[in-house]
Homo-oligomer: A and B are copies of this chain.
Amino acid sequence: MASGKPSAAATPLRQPQQARSRKTREKIVQAAEDLFESKGYEATTTNSIARRARASVGTFYLYFPDKRAVLTEIFHKAVDQIFGRAMEGLKPEYWEKADLREGIGALIAGVLDSRDVRPGIQRILHERYFKDPAIKTAMDAMLQEGVQAILGLMDTLSDRLRVRDREAAAFVIYATVDALAARVMIAESPIDPKRLTTQLTDLISRYLFED
């Protein structure tokens, strides 16, 4: 870094070593991700992660202080992806048009969509929520951000809204959509996602707007 970034082919010297190291690290993260996803967090041993990454336990502990640390890393990456996907539907472009239902549809679709991102990891986040403060904190932050985004949206639509207590409303909406999405992902819903989406759209649009 101190030497600045020279023209492309100039500094291959040290790179290989660092590149190898980065690769190893990535192999470990990937292995952990696979195993956490398939066997769950607790059932995955550090030894098995190393083995799957074709490395040794020692190498694992070279890159991570302990098992939790890999999970935290994986989950940070995942949260960004998941949240990015979920926020997709809140982009103003969906809301500038006249059709409000379309906006709500996009909101719901986005959240539902985000549930397809690393479902195994989401499952683990779910079960470790109370046990791992780092996870709780980050998931709570996600909730906060989601609520803020909805509040922002409400400002845009201000004159058409019928709700008074917007803060509570935003929270209720986020929680509702999120919960339904969770049910769908978990596939515990015996009802077709499309029907659910329709009803959810009705639920929210009737709540927010005069018919």
Contact = CB atoms under 8 A, between A and B. Distances in A.
Interface of A: 40, 42, 123, 126-131, 136, 140, 143-144, 163, 165, 167-169, 171-172, 175-176, 178-180, 182-183, 188-192, 195-196, 198-200, 202-204, 206-207, 211
A188 B143 contact: yes
A172 B179 CA distance: 9
A126 to B, nearest CB: 8
7 contacts: A126-B129, A127-B127, A163-B199, A167-B191, A175-B183, A179-B182, A202-B207
Contacts of A204: 203
Contacts of A168: 191-192, 195-196, 198-199
A190 B138 CA distance: 15
A-B residue pairs, 4 tightest by C-beta = A179-B179, A168-B195, A127-B127, A206-B206
A190 to B, nearest CB: 8
Contacts of A207: 202-203, 206-207
B165 A175 contact: no
A165 B127 contact: no
Nearest to A182: B179
A169 B199 contact: yes
A38 to B, nearest CB: 12
Contacts of A179: 175-176, 178-180, 182
